[in-house]
Amino acid sequence: MKRLLLLLLVPATLLSQETPPAPGAPRPVVLPKPAEKTLANGLRVVVAPRRNVALVSATVMIQTGAEADPKGRDGLADVTASLLTRGAGTRTAPQLAEAIEALGGGLESDGGWDASSASVNVLATNLPAALAILADVVRRPTFAAPEVERLRKERLDDLTLALKQPGTMAAWAAQRLVYGDAPYAHPSGGTPDSVGRIRREDVVAFHRAHYVPKNAVLVLTGDVERDQAFRAAERAFGGWQGGAKPRQTAAAPPASPAPRVVVIDRAQSGQAAVGVAALGIRRVDPDYHRGSVANSVLSGYSGRLNQEIRIKRGLSYGAGSSLDVRREPGPFYASAQTKNESAAEVATLLLAELERLAAGELPADELTPRKAVLVGGYSRELETAEGLAGELASLALYGLPFGEIEKTIPAIEAVQADEVREFARKRLPRSRASLVVVGEGAKFLPALKEKFPNLEVIPEAEVDFSSPTLRKK
Amino acid sequence: MTGVLLAVFAAAVSSSPAPPARVKPRLTMPPLQARLRTLPNGLKVVSLADASSPTVSVQVYYQVGSVDDPDQRSGFAHLFEHLMFKATKNMKSEMMDRLTEDVGGFNNASTGDDVTRYYEVVPAHYLETLLWAEADRMATLQVDEAAFKSERDVVKEEFRSRVLAPPYGKLFYAMETRSFTVHPYRRPGIGSIEDLDAATLEDVRAFHRTFYRPDNATLIVVGDFDPAKLDEWVDRYFSKVPKPDLPLPRVTAVEPPREGEKRFSETGANVPLPAVLVTYLVPPVTHPDAEPLRVLEALLASGDSSRLHRTLVYEKQLASRVAAGADLRLQPGLFYAFGIAASGHGADEVEKGLLAELERMKQTPVTAQELEKAKNQLLHDLLAQRETASGKARALAEAVVFYGDADRANTDLARLQAVSAADVARVARQYLTEKNRVVIGYAQEASK
């Protein structure tokens, strides 16, 4: 890989070849300056105009997500959020869909980790009408019993489909391996068993406790003027009443269980999905930017994982990793799909790169471009109304000031090679990483066992994603 | 003009049955004032200076796609697209990534049925570098055997990721093979393992020589740049790419009209719920019926209020997933409808449900309210595309490459607005007929 970078630095070796023309002077990046206001009921309203096209996006974020799912009710936060759009105020589910789609837009709601959200994205002239619908959805969902039942059925079919995808199964297994029985361990959409147990009363209680203005943030971005946005927010949400901000499910940072090597053995798997997982960091961790850069060295098209697995060896269509930062430490997950026969080789390569990040060289001509990837990606994210809304919501969720937007690019650029190495060594050590492979065991188990003699094999039919052991009882 | 039209149709949006949604008529979609040039070697250049972001989007469209895969080489155009990131006379393999990703930009490419698209976004001061690089790979691609074989393995993994690993991959694969009888569109763009294995380095050289030439390409540049500088750089780097004497081969095969319903059954491993896919042969993207077909697609399948979702997923709960779409191409393409059964239901019920909804589109014209909803959704998509330089470049590229007219990007709205309920019913009656139908059922294969 460094051979390629040398090309740019040592043009003399190119002889008769042409060299690319040098870049001109860089243009400054203009960053958005959000404004905010807290309504009398405690709702925080954030506005960041970006008037390049006549669209506006509004999101209500509730600062509670799947981490608050009660035991045995995995998926409750997500089911609750999804039901918001299935009837609210005086409208039925079909009437809501018609109303928002007539405004030239979409209405979406879902639950994630740490937060749930409902959002509209509409033609700019329709903002007041869209906010009225958004307010209905968040404040006055009907949760009609037939809708709860209908959604539960849909969810069961969705889960049936998801459980036939090797990549999804590997990712869900990885969460269990990292978190055991802690709040981030279960599939956030639930499992067939847990979704089957969710009742209307559970949903109503979850909504009453968490969907209150003191636990919410409204973010408006796009073609909207600041004061007009605040007035519209006041009209739609000023009368929202609700109780105190609920206590967050602040489980102490989970002590990750002992690492495991797990194979989920399934017949006729079109490919094997291979994943390496470990406990990562919180969003507010002082190492956040170092962690982002470390992940960028591994991930992205020219990151080390894709270099080694796809570009050098043709073993996968794509390999990459993510460092998912949350209120509590989120997971690090590196993964690739490959033909069953090469699963053991890919597993070895993923783990080797984790080790190399902690101990190997990271020359400037590799580090600088990987930081540029992050900087460029961040700038582009802020260019769309949706990307900007996502970043503002994330900062609000984790209690970070919006001034972080201006500090982010310099902070990325300041990260040094030894800091990346130290991050990998201390925060993502190979010794704490688990491995999961989902595929046709017969085609890779002998090779895999040689490298990981203590691996556990779980036949597909015996897997239970709601169990910390991953096995049915 | 667009402003006036929009005002009219935004004002026409009616309220939902519950509290009326008031709509103010103030929408505009500013026209994209593109500049066009054609170089003596035939390269078309479309540019639009736009300083709303300190970046620039560079795209090169070649009019070559899976339709041009050589005989016994299905998947070749797509494999070739991957190889365009390998060595040239002046660049080592993956140098495009050094010039884009490494400076905070990105690049990618996609192979369609009719065109292959290469696109980058970079900080604006790298524009000249990118123009040099695109010209260089147009003129001097030099893939070696090792890079060729390794990348072919990547594409085989892509085949497994798209076709073999997902539960419904083999159904979508069958969509092409079962929908066309004569036309090369019958070969799936991803190819097959056997045909990919049969490809040689000589095939690569011949394909580059034949199709990757300035008179078969369109360069699109949108972003923060000085137009005079752009012209100077385009002249410097692209003018020297020679226009070959070879003729440009074009597919002449004509898919005959369908003469009666055809039915197929496909199976796959790990298919938890049966599914059905129905296709109809429809006219090319340039045909005047393209717009009503797009509106028909939105009515049937855009959003939760669309006909298929509302009826089959919500009301009857027969299906867990539905979709429909106008897959329009330079030659006759497809209109399709698709559904995965809900548990406890069969593919036959889903098929009946889909066909009943298509029938309803023929018999009863949609209301003005429903029609305006679909148009507003399409307008939203047009606007959303224009949020970035990359999206604007794509809109211009498609206008030039598919219609030979950059101004199509600015007149899309007027054409959309002109579609009436009667037009929608007419295209439904004309194309969604039993005689013109292919039905592909899909289920779990028998256990071994």
Contact B47, B381 (CB under 8 A): no
pLDDT score at B18: 40
pLDDT score at A303: 98
pLDDT score at B446: 86
DSSP reduced 3-state for B101:
helix
- What ipTM describes this predicted complex? 0.91
Describe chain B by its helix, strand, coil percentages, rounded to 5: 45, 20, 35
Q: DSSP readout, B296-323?
A: HHHHHHSSTTSHHIIIIIIIS--EEEEE
- Give contacts of B270 with chain A, Cβ < 8 Å: 164, 266, 268-270
Strands B44-49, B217-223: pairing is parallel
How far does A173 lie from chain B, in Å, by closest CA?
A: 18
The stretch A212-237 carries a mean pLDDT of: 97
pLDDT classification of A2: cutoffs 50, 70, 90: very low
Would you state the structure tokens that stand for residue A109, as one six-digit string?
A: 């709601």
Where do the domains of chain A lie? 35-237, 261-462
A261-462 — its CATH code?
3.30.830.10
B93 at interface of A, judged by CB pairs closer than 8 A: yes
- The residue of chain B with its CA nearest to that of A123 is B380
- Annotate B138-195 with three-state secondary structure: HHHECCCHHHHHHHHHHHHHHHHHHHHCCCCHHHHHHHHHHHCCCCHHHCCCCCCHHH
HSE at residue A108, side-chain half, CA atoms within 13 A, is: 12
Interface touch A270/B169, C-beta < 8 Å: yes
Interface touch B342/A157, C-beta < 8 Å: yes
Tell me the CATH class for B35-238: alpha beta
Of these residues, B81, B120, B151, B266, which one is catalytic? B81
B409 at interface of A, judged by CB pairs closer than 8 A: no
Q: Is the pLDDT of residue A421 over 70?
A: yes
pLDDT digits (tens, 9 = 90+) for A367-392: 999 999 999 999 999 998 889 999 99
**Nearest residue to B299 (alpha-carbon basis) of A98, A154, A129:** A98
Would you state the structure tokens that stand for residue B294, as one six-digit string?
A: 């797009």
**Which residue in B157, B269, B342 is closest to A339 by CB distance?**
B157
Would you state the structure tokens that stand for residue A382, as one six-digit string?
A: 């802020």
The residue with greater pLDDT, B384 or A294, is: A294
| Distance (Å) of CA B276 to CA B306, B349, B434, B443 | 19, 10, 16, 9
Residue type at position A81: A
**How far is residue B298's CA from residue B376's CA, in Å, rounded to a whole number?**
10
- Annotate A28-56 with three-state secondary structure: CCCCCCCEEEECCCCCEEEEEECCCCCEE
Q: Is B35-238's fold the same as B257-444's?
A: yes
DSSP reduced 3-state for A358:
helix
**How far is residue A376's CA from residue B126's CA, in Å, rounded to a whole number?**
13
**How far is residue A452's CA from residue A348's CA, in Å, rounded to a whole number?**
10
Q: DSSP readout, B371-435?
A: HHHHHHHHHHHHHHHTTSHHHHHHHHHHHHHHHS-TTHHHHHHHHHHH--HHHHHHHHHHHS-ST
- Ranges of H-type helices in B164-289: 169-179, 193-198, 201-211, 227-238
Would you state the structure tokens that stand for residue B447, as one six-digit string?
A: 């256990």
What sign has the CA pseudo-torsion A47, A52, A58, A62?
A: negative
How would you classify residue B279: left for phi > 0, otherwise alpha for psi between -120 and 50, otherwise beta? Answer: beta
How would you classify residue A114: left for phi > 0, otherwise alpha for psi between -120 and 50, otherwise beta? Answer: left
What sign has the CA pseudo-torsion A188, A192, A194, A196?
A: positive
Where do the domains of chain B lie? 35-238, 257-444
Contact A435, A178 (CB under 8 A): no
Helix (H) or strand (E) holding A370: helix A364-381
**How far is residue B175's CA from residue A144's CA, in Å, rounded to a whole number?**
39
CATH superfamily of B257-444: Metalloenzyme, LuxS/M16 peptidase-like (3.30.830.10)
B444 at interface of A, judged by CB pairs closer than 8 A: no
Other C-beta atoms lying within 10 Å of the C-beta of residue A221: 30
Give contacts of B 310-369 with A, CB under 8 A: 310, 313-314, 317, 320-321, 340, 342-343, 369
The stretch A468-472 carries a mean pLDDT of: 95
**How far is residue B330's CA from residue B356's CA, in Å, rounded to a whole number?**
30
**Nearest residue to A51 (alpha-carbon basis) of B383, B222, B56:** B383
**How far is residue B36's CA from residue B48's CA, in Å, rounded to a whole number?**
9
B27 at interface of A, judged by CB pairs closer than 8 A: yes
Would you state the structure tokens that stand for residue B224, as one six-digit string?
A: 């923060």
Contact A412, A406 (CB under 8 A): no
Number of inter-chain CB pairs under 8 A, A vs B: 280
Would you state the structure tokens that stand for residue B189, as one six-digit string?
A: 């763009």
Residue A247 burial (10 A CB sphere; 0-12, 13-18, 19+): exposed
Q: DSSP readout, B350-363?
A: HHHHHHHHHHHHHH
- Tens-binned pLDDT, residue by residue, of chain B (448 aa): 233 322 222 222 233 334 334 443 435 688 999 999 999 999 999 999 999 899 999 999 999 999 999 999 999 999 999 999 999 999 999 999 999 999 999 999 999 999 999 999 999 999 999 999 999 999 999 999 999 999 999 999 999 999 999 999 999 999 999 999 999 999 999 999 999 999 999 999 999 999 999 999 999 999 999 999 999 999 999 999 999 999 999 999 999 999 999 999 999 999 999 999 999 999 999 999 999 999 999 999 999 999 999 999 999 999 999 999 999 999 999 999 999 999 999 999 999 999 999 999 999 999 999 999 999 999 989 999 999 999 999 999 999 999 999 999 999 888 999 999 999 999 999 999 999 999 999 999 986 5
**Nearest residue to B269 (alpha-carbon basis) of B188, B342, B163:** B163
Catalytic residue status for B81: yes
Q: What is the pTM of this model?
A: 0.92
Interface touch B28/A54, C-beta < 8 Å: yes
- Give contacts of B342 with chain A, Cβ < 8 Å: 153-154, 157
**How far is residue A296's CA from residue A292's CA, in Å, rounded to a whole number?**
6
Residue B407 burial (10 A CB sphere; 0-12, 13-18, 19+): middle
Contact B54, A28 (CB under 8 A): yes
pLDDT score at B22: 40
Helix (H) or strand (E) holding B45: strand B44-49
Placement of tokens 């970070």 in the chain: A400
DSSP reduced 3-state for A382:
coil
Strands A116-123, A55-62: pairing is antiparallel
**Nearest residue to A289 (alpha-carbon basis) of A467, A110, A420:** A420
**How far is residue A252's CA from residue B8's CA, in Å, rounded to a whole number?**
58
pLDDT score at B427: 98
**Nearest residue to A288 (alpha-carbon basis) of A398, A177, A156, A196:** A398
Other C-beta atoms lying within 10 Å of the C-beta of residue A214: 15
DSSP reduced 3-state for A104:
coil
Helix (H) or strand (E) holding A218: strand A216-222
Percent of chain A with pLDDT over 90: 86
**How far is residue B300's CA from residue B434's CA, in Å, rounded to a whole number?**
18
Q: How is residue A437 annotated by DSSP?
A: E
pLDDT digits (tens, 9 = 90+) for A34-51: 999 999 999 999 999 988
CATH superfamily of A35-237: Metalloenzyme, LuxS/M16 peptidase-like (3.30.830.10)
Residue to test with chain B: of A31, A109, A126, A382, most B Cβ within 10 A? A126
Give contacts of A 281-310 with B, CB under 8 A: 300-302, 310
Secondary structure E strands in A300-431: 319-323, 331-338
> Which residues make Cβ contacts (< 8 Å) with residue A328, sequence separation at least 6?
A67, A183, A184, A250, A251, A253, A254, A282
How far does B105 lie from chain A, in Å, by closest CA?
A: 6
